[in-house]
Structure 1
C-alpha cells in the first residue's frame, strides 16, 4: 500500500486518522452530500421532474480540484475514461439525430448538464476518497444528518396537512420552497415528489451500508421507510420497501443447507408475500390496480404507462430513430409522434384517455416520462442502451466484481430507474465507483471506519463487491 498520494497529500493508510477536510474545496463536497435529499426545491437546477442541488456542487468540486490537484483529478479521469467516452458517444448520436428531427437548445442543454453532472458525481466521489482520503465516517454521518433532517421536514408536513394542524404560515413557507407541492395531502419531505423516497433510501443509503457496514444506516432506512408508510406518503414507497428488502436479503444472507438457513429463507419469503398481499389489499390505489389493471385502475399509473408507450411506439414506426433515438432534448418530439399509436392502443382495450394523457397530443418541450429507460431510448436509441449495458458488464468483469452481491445491486438499480429518469442521480454513479474501486483500501475495515482498533488481518473487511459467497 502506498505511503503517499500522487499529489503529495499525506497518506491515510490508517482510516481512523483520515481527515474530514484536506482543503477548503472539501466543504463543497460535504455540502453536496448534505444536500442529496434536497432535490425538489426552487433553489436547484431544473432537470426532468426534479431540481437537485448536489450534482452542481459535485461539478464545481471536480473543476476546482482539477485546478488545485491536477494529478489527483487526472488519475481519477483515467480510471473512469470509459464512461467519459460514453458521454462523447451520446453527443455524436445527437449530432446525427438533430438534423432529422430538429434541436431544442434549452432541453438539449438540460440533458447535457444532467450527463455532465452525473459524471462529476462519480469523479467527485473518487477524488474525495481515493485521491484525498477524506474520512468515511464523516461522510456517513453527513448523510445520516441530511436524511434525518429531511425526515423531520416530512413529519412537519404531515402534522400540518389540511386535515391536521393546517397552519397557513407553514403552508406558505413550503409553497415558496417546494417546486411541485404535494405536501398539503401527503408528505414529500424535501424530494421532488413522494415517489422518490425509495430511490433515495434504497439507491443511496442501502448501498452505503453495504460498503461501510455502518450500523446507523439500517435504522435510518427502516425508520424513514416505516415513517413514510405510516404517514401515507404514497404507494410507491410500500412497493419499493417490499421489493428492496427482498433484494437486501438475497444479497446479504449466506444461504446454507442448514435448518436455520432454510427456515430463515422460508420466513423471509413468507414475510415478503404477506407484505405484498397486505399492500394490495389495504392500499386503495394498489387495490384498484389489482382489480382493474394498471391502465385503468389508477390515474397516475395510466399516465406514466402512456408516457412510456408513446415514445416506444414512435420508435417502432421509425426504425432508424428507434435504434439511434431522436436526439438529446427531443423527448417531446418522440412522445408527440407516438401519441396516435399509443392512443389507439389504449382505446382498442377500452381504456379512456384521462385529461393528463390528452395533453400529450402536443406535449410541452420540458416533458418527462419518469423512467430512465424510456427517456434514454427516446433520446439516444436502443444502440446506445445496448452499449451502456455492455459497458457495465465489461466494467464489472474488468474489475473482477461478479458475484451475488453485484448482481443484486444491478437488479436494484434496474428496478429503481424504471420509474426514475434522472441521469445525474447518485445511485448509478455510486455503483460504478464501488465496482471500480478497491473498497478495502478506500474505505478500510469496519472497525477502522468506526475508529476502533482491531486485530484482524489487513485484507479482512468490507471488500464486499469482490468477495466470494
Structure 2
C-alpha cells in the first residue's frame, strides 16, 4: 500500500483520482488508507503528532461562527476537510513506514525515481503525439486525463496542445519539483547518498525537458529557480575549482534568465507593464487579494475565518476594496476583470492561489498537494475550485460541452463591462 502511494505521486491529473479543486490526486488517499490499516502504529503516531491531529477539529470549531453568519455549504466543506485531514494522515503514514516499521528509505527513493522517470517518459510520448499528430495517443490521454491538454477542442488546450506528463496541468511540474523532488534531494544530500546525484539529474532533465517541450510559460521561472537551487546544493563552494565551476553555472543561469525574459512575450510584458502585463500573473494577485480584503472588511474573521466552504463570502465582502487597490496600483482593465471574477464566485467554484487565504479562511480550497518528504511530511494548501451551472446572481452564462473527455462550462459575466470569464470542469 505504501509503495503504491509512492508510485502514484506524479499521477495527480487522471480520472482515476479523487477530485479536489483542480487536481485529482491518488497518493494522499493511499497514505491515509495505509495509516488506517496499521491501527497500533497509528495510535502511537497520532500521539507523537498530536498538534497536527487537532488541526481538523480546531478548524471545525473555528468554522462554527462563520457557518452561523454566512451559511453552510456541505460539498465545499467536504472538499476542505478531506484535504486538511489528508495532511496529518500522510505524516502518520510516513512515521509508520520509516520509524515504526523501519522500511528502507533506499527502496522508497528508488520507487520515487522510477515513477518520476516514467512520468517524464509519458511526457515525451505526449510531445511526439502532438507534433506527429498521432490521434490514437491523443485520444487515449484525452480519456485518461481529467483535464486534457492534448485533445483538440478541449477547453484546456485553447493556448495550444502541450504535454502534461501525468499532472493535472503542465505547470504542475514546478509543484512536483519543489514539493517532492528538491526536498528529497536535500534529505539525500545530508546523508551523502548516491541517490542525491540521481535525483539531481532527474530534476535537471525534468526541468530542461519541460522547457524544451514547451509545457508553458509559467514553468520558466520555476525552472530557473530550481536550477539555481540544484547548483547551490551541488557545488563545493569551499573548493576553489568548485567555486569557479559554480560561478560559471550561475552566470549561465543569469544569461538564460535574461534571454527568457527577452524572448518570451509574456515575461517581457510583466517586466514592462508590471502585474497588468499578463492576465495569468494578474490573476494570481486578484484571486488572493479579494478574500484577504474580506478579512479587512470583517476583522473578526482574521481569528475565526469565514467558515469552511465560505471563501466566496470573503471574496464578496472584499471585492470593492480589492478593486480599489488594483485600480490604485495601475491594474487598468485588470481591475474590471477582477471585479467580474469576484461577482461570479459561488461557494463551489471559488478558488485562490494563496495558501494563507485557503487555510486562514477555512475555505473549500484547502487541499493537500502530494505531501512527501521521506522523513517528514510537506504539503501545500492552495487549490482551485470548480464551477456549477449557476455563476451567481450577477451573471448569465452559457454552458458549452466541447470535449469528449471532459464537459466544461464557460461562464461569462454579462453585468457591466467586465470581460472576466472562467472555465472549469463540471461534475
Shorter-chain TM-score category? 0.7 to 0.9
What is the CA–CA distance in structure 2 between the aligned matches of 1:113 and 1:223, rounded to whole Å? Answer: 34
Q: Does 1:238 align with 2:220?
A: yes
Structure 2 residue 316 is the aligned partner of structure 1 residue 336: yes
Match of 1:45, SS state, is coil
- Rounded Cα–Cα distance in structure 1 between residues aligned with 2:246 and 2:118: 35
Could you say if the C-alpha distance between residues 336 and 431 of structure 1 is closer, same or farther in structure 2, counting changes exceeding 3 Å? farther
Match of 2:114 in 1: 145
What number of residue pairs does the alignment pair up?
A: 359
- Cα displacement (A) at 1:112: 0.7
State the alpha-carbon separation in 2 of the partners of residues 430 and 330 from structure 1. 34
8 Å CA contact retained: 1:203, 1:427: yes
Establish whether residue 196 from structure 1 lines up as the match of residue 178 from structure 2.
no
Asked if structure 2 preserves the Cα contact closer than 8 Å seen for 1:121 and 1:426, the reply is no
Structure 1 CA distance for aligned equivalents of residues 204 and 144 of structure 2: 27
Unmatched 5+ stretches in structure 2: 152-160, 379-427
Superimposed CA distance per residue, residues 311-348 of structure 1 (whole angstroms, 9 cap, x where no aligned partner): 11111111111332112122222222222222333344
Look up the SS of the partner of 2:362 in the other structure: helix
Note the 1:5-16 alignment, pairs <5 A.
none
Q: Deviations over 1:263-322 (max 9, x none)?
A: 45644543343232222112221112112212x211222222210111111111111113
CA contact (8 A) 2:59 2:362 kept: no
Is residue 361 of structure 1 aligned with residue 305 of structure 2? no
Q: Where in structure 1 are there 5+ consecutive unaligned residues? A: 1-27, 381-420, 435-469
Kept in 2, the 8 Å contact 1:49–1:192? The answer is yes
Q: 2:369 maps to what in 1?
A: 425
**Residues 1:121 and 2:101 aligned together:** no
What does 1:283-302 align with in structure 2 at a 5 Å threshold?
283-294=264-275, 296-302=276-282
Aligned partners of 1:49 and 1:370 also within 8 Å: no
Match runs of 1:218-367 below 5 Å? 218-250=200-232, 255-256=237-238, 259-260=240-241, 263-264=244-245, 266-294=247-275, 296-348=276-328, 349-353=330-334, 358-364=340-346, 365-367=348-350
Aligned partner of residue 37 in structure 2, secondary structure = helix
Q: CA contact under 8 A between 1:235 and 1:285: conserved in structure 2?
A: yes
Judged with a 3 Å threshold, the aligned counterparts in structure 2 of structure 1 residues 232 and 327 are, in CA distance, closer, same or farther, namely same
The structure where helix makes up a greater share of residues is: 1
3-state DSSP class of the match of 1:379?
A: coil
Normalised to the residue count of structure 1, the TM-score between the two structures is 0.71
TM-score by length of 2: 0.77
Match of 1:20 in 2: none
Task: Say which of 24, 41, 48 aligns to 1:51.
Answer: 24
1:132 aligns with 2:101: yes
Q: Which residue of 1 aligns with 2:59?
A: 90
Does the CA contact (< 8 Å) of 1:40 and 1:191 recur in 2?
yes
**Partners of 2:289 and 2:71 in 1: how far apart?**
22
In 2, Cα distance between equivalents of 1:236 and 1:141: 29
Moved more, 349-358 or 359-368: 349-358
Which sits farther off after the overlay, 83-92 or 325-334? 83-92
Question: 1:405-416, aligned counterparts within 5 Å?
Answer: none
The Cα of 1:227 is off from its aligned counterpart by 0.6
> Which is further off, 141-150 or 50-59?
141-150
Structure 2 distance, partners of 1:80, 1:240, is: 32
